[in-house]
């Protein structure tokens, strides 16, 4: 067995016992349910109905707001970064759920990259458009 594959299998097993965040998994479960059972007057359901274009626009907007918040100083700036990060993460999770991608899939990918140079990881990518 290749060392990289063995490492990935070990990391996947470890992730079963160390979830990234219980609250993120809870939120993801709600988002997945809203996709299947969209309640009336649901912001999340409106995002799903707008598809990638609407969800993507919100991600871009929230990312821009986060970068702006990063330029603020002091405790108020810190709180603003946390607030905007929460918005960005929420919209990212909506996009993942929209594409039936589980949070665990992202955790496994992050675990695969753990301990590897970012430059080496980027150079090893073979999927078109992922550089």
pLDDT at 127 over 70: no
Cα–Cα distance between 21 and 49 in angstroms, integer?
27
Taking residues 66-89, report their average pLDDT. 97
11 vs 3, 15, 19, 106, CA distance in Å? 12, 6, 12, 12
* Model confidence at 85: pLDDT above 80: yes
Q: What is the pTM of this model?
A: 0.76
Instruction: Measure the CA–CA gap between 110 and 128, rounded to whole angstroms.
Output: 19
Task: Give the chain's largest Cα–Cα span.
Answer: 52
- What are the chain's domains? 20-102 (1.10.287.1080)
Reply yes or no on whether the pLDDT at 95 is more than 90: yes
How far, in Å, CA of 62 to CA of 68, rounded?
A: 10
Q: What's the confidence (pLDDT) of residue 123?
A: 77
The CA-atom distances, in angstroms, between 67 and each of 55, 75, 80 are 18, 16, 10
């Amino acid at each position: 067995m290749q060392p990289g594959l063995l490492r990935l299998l070990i990391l996947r097993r470890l992730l079963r016992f160390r979830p990234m965040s219980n609250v993120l998994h809870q939120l993801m479960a709600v988002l997945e349910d809203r996709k299947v059972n969209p309640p009336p007057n649901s912001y999340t359901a409106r995002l799903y109905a707008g598809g990638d274009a609407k969800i993507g626009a919100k991600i871009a907007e929230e990312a821009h707001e986060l970068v702006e918040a990063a330029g603020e100083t002091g405790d108020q700036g810190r709180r603003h970064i946390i607030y905007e990060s929460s918005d960005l993460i929420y919209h990212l999770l909506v996009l993942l759920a929209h594409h039936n991608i589980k949070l665990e899939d992202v955790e496994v990918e992050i675990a695969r990259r753990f301990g590897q140079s970012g430059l080496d990881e980027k150079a090893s990518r073979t999927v078109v458009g992922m550089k």
